[in-house]
Amino acid sequence: MYLHDVEFVASPVPAKTSGDHTSALGADAAAYGLAEEDKAKVRGEGDEKVLGAIAELFAMKEEGLIKHVGISGMSS
Task: Compute, in degrees rounded to 10, the torsion defined by CA atoms 52, 46, 1, 40.
Answer: -70
pLDDT at 76: 57
Whole-model pTM over 0.85:
no
Give the model confidence (pLDDT) of 14-31 as tens digits: 666 777 777 777 887 877
In degrees rounded to 5, what are phi and psi of residue 7? Answer: -65, -20
**Residue of 13 and 1 predicted with greater confidence:** 1
Residue 70 pairs in a beta bridge with: 2
pLDDT above 70: percentage of residues in the chain: 93
Task: Compute, in degrees rounded to 10, the torsion defined by CA atoms 40, 46, 49, 50.
Answer: -50
pLDDT at 26: 82
Model confidence at 74: pLDDT above 80? no
